[in-house]
Amino acid sequence: MVRDTNLEDIGQLSLRVYRLVFPEDAIYGNLMYGGKLLLILDEIIAIMAIKFAKGAIVTASLDALDFYHPICVGNILVLATSLNYTGRSSMEIGVKVLAEDPVNNTVQHTCTAFSTCVKVDEHGKPRLLASFTPVTDVEKRRWAEAEQRKQHRMKVFVGLYSC
Binding site for ligand COA (CB under 6 A): 58-61, 87-90, 116, 118, 120, 124, 126, 153-154, 157
Beta carbon nearer to ligand COA, 22 or 157: 157
Separation of alpha carbons 96 and 80, rounded Å? 5
Closest approach of Cβ 122 to ligand COA, in Å? Answer: 13
Helices (H) and strands (E) counted in the chain, each on its own, are: 2, 7
Closest approach of Cβ 125 to ligand COA, in Å? Answer: 7
Q: Is 1 strand, coil or helix?
A: coil
Beta carbon nearer to ligand COA, 4 or 121: 121
Separation of alpha carbons 116 and 30, rounded Å? 32
Beta carbon nearer to ligand COA, 63 or 101: 63
Sign of the dihedral defined by the CA atoms of residues 152, 140, 131, 121, in that order = positive
Closest approach of Cβ 156 to ligand COA, in Å? Answer: 9
Beta carbon nearer to ligand COA, 46 or 76: 46
Cα–Cα distances in angstroms (integers) from residue 127 to residues 46, 55, 58, 92, 148, in the given order? 16, 10, 11, 15, 22
DSSP line for 102-148: TTTTEEEEEEEEEEEEEEB-TTS-B---------SHHHHHHHHHHHH
User: How many other β-carbons are positioned within 10 Å of the β-carbon of residue 30?
Assistant: 15
Closest approach of Cβ 90 to ligand COA, in Å? Answer: 3
Closest CB to ligand COA: residue number: 87
Closest approach of Cβ 146 to ligand COA, in Å? Answer: 11
Beta carbon nearer to ligand COA, 103 or 160: 160
